[in-house]
Amino acid sequence: MRLNKWVRQSHRWICIVFTLAVIYNFAATFGGEEPPVWVYMLALVPLFLLLLTGLYMFVQPYVSKRRARE
């Protein structure tokens, strides 16, 4: 049960980081000159982590139901 709590808490904090990265991306895009390519890729790292933790949280109830039946 401890892993589930850790994944949920991590998912929340990663969401905050992702939101800040997207805001930074918009600010850099509308800041005047063309930003470097890494600015566009900045939000992809937390997005990938959100995908992993979100898939874990999505699958976890189905796995626990299956374990309860066995």
Give pTM, 2 decimals. 0.81
- DSSP, residue by residue, 6-70: HHHHHHHHHHHHHHHHHHHHHHHHTTSSPPPHHHHHTTHHHHHHHHHHHHHHHHHHHHHHHHHH-
Query: Could you state, in order of their start, the residue ranges of all structural domains in the chain?
Result: 10-61
Residue 33 is predicted with a pLDDT of 81
Residue 64 is predicted with a pLDDT of 81
What is the mean pLDDT of the segment spanning 6-12? 95
Band the pLDDT of 1: cuts 50, 70, 90: low
What is the mean pLDDT of the segment spanning 23-27? 91
